[in-house]
Amino acid sequence: MLIGDADVLSHYRALLVREPSLQWAEIWSLASYSKDLSPAAAAPVRLPPGRLRGTAEQVLADLDATHAAYQEYLLACAVPLLIQADPRFGNRESQLVTAVSERVDSIPAARAALAAIRRYGYRSKR
């Protein structure tokens, strides 16, 4: 797999949409790395709002400091799932909106990530 290969990312995103177990694995891998979930965590339907604080911090840092290909993955795959799992995005939803909005012209997946935030985010549910 080549870094930045749009076809690979598109294929992975299609798998994520179809496979709930893969969705959970994606959420769990990021959240357990950030110590928001135990490595032995079972798949919940929805996490308590604001639970993914460390994950949110890591994703926001990665959006600022990583290669465009990884940012594309985060925006296409991880962010939509994380915002569904924790609509408050670790209580940093407004920072996520700002970070994603800043990338709309440079990262193709940013528009889809913003749509997911609008659809699933806490502020959209008020």
pLDDT digits (tens, 9 = 90+) for 87-124: 999 999 999 999 999 999 999 999 999 999 999 987 65
pLDDT at 115: 93
| Residue range(s) defining the domain that contains residue 110 | 6-38+48-125
- Total number of residues shown for the chain: 126
Domain count, the chain: 1
Cα separation, 33 vs 36, whole angstroms: 8
17 falls within a domain: yes
Cα separation, 49 vs 65, whole angstroms: 26
114 falls within a domain: yes
pLDDT 10s digits, 38-95: 888 777 656 888 999 999 999 999 999 888 889 999 999 999 999 999 999 999 999 9
The whole-model pTM stands at 0.88
25 falls within a domain: yes
75 falls within a domain: yes
28 falls within a domain: yes
Instruction: Using alpha carbons, select from 35, 49, 53, 51 the residue that is nearest to residue 92.
Output: 53
Helix axes 20-33, 53-65, angle to 10 degrees: 90
121 falls within a domain: yes
12 Cα distance to chain centroid: 14
1 falls within a domain: no
32 falls within a domain: yes
pLDDT at 1: 41
